[in-house]
Amino acid sequence: MAFSASSIFSVSAAGLYGLVMLACVLATTTAARYRQLPHHARTWAMLAAMFLLLACNRFTGFEEFVRSLLREELRVFGTYEDRRSVQGPLAVAVIVLFSAAVGWSLYFRWRTARGQRDRAVLVALGAAVVMLALVVMRIVSLHQMDTLLYGPLKLNWIADLGSSVAVLGAALKYVRLVRLRNAGRR
């Protein structure tokens, strides 16, 4: 069920998401095959599912559909014209609190990580959080936020590509680390 036509950028992004998903599936199967910590396989599987959903989102235009529904709800309740007075402070508060909570959690986990495999999982999780935050910011679609995301710096592209490549790299590094570790045991 398509909500809108896919642009060449959406199709390209979906292709990248598919590649990341495959790398996460490879990391999942590697973690299971080589009997790594159970949460490693679960995390990679969750990330594979997330990137599959992101690819579907790009093909179907679901994100734009949700954004349109939210705008329509604001119009129905007569608050569309006043939305910026509420959205701005709310968005800033959510971003600051969310960033602080996630940052603290990742910092604590990084310090207690037992090795490079744990850190590869944490890098992938951190990048996935950035991706999810980006999707939420695009859906909320504040004028000021849109200027940052789609303006001359193209932070939308940088965050999207950067977080996707970070998850891809972390998954491939994880697979390499696990296989090298187990090759040394033979």
Q: Are 40 and 117 in contact (CB under 8 A)?
A: yes
- Who's near 145: CB < 8 A, 6+ residues apart? 91, 137
pTM for the full model? 0.81
* Res. 2 pLDDT band, cuts 50 70 90: very low
pLDDT at 169 over 60: yes
pLDDT at 97 over 80: yes
Residue 1 lies in a domain: no
The residue segments making up the domain with residue 123 are 8-183
Residue 122 lies in a domain: yes
**pLDDT given at position 125:** 92
Say how many C-beta atoms besides its own lie within 10 A of residue 113's C-beta.
14
Residue 165 lies in a domain: yes
Q: Are 132 and 83 in contact (CB under 8 A)?
A: no
Residue 126 lies in a domain: yes
- Who's near 1: CB < 8 A, 6+ residues apart? 60
Residue 78 lies in a domain: yes
- Look at the chain and report how many structural domains it folds into: 1
Residue 40 lies in a domain: yes
pLDDT at 51 over 70: yes
Taking each helix axis as running N to C, give the angle between helix 38-60 and helix 116-140, from 0 to 180 degrees, rounded to the nearest 10. 30
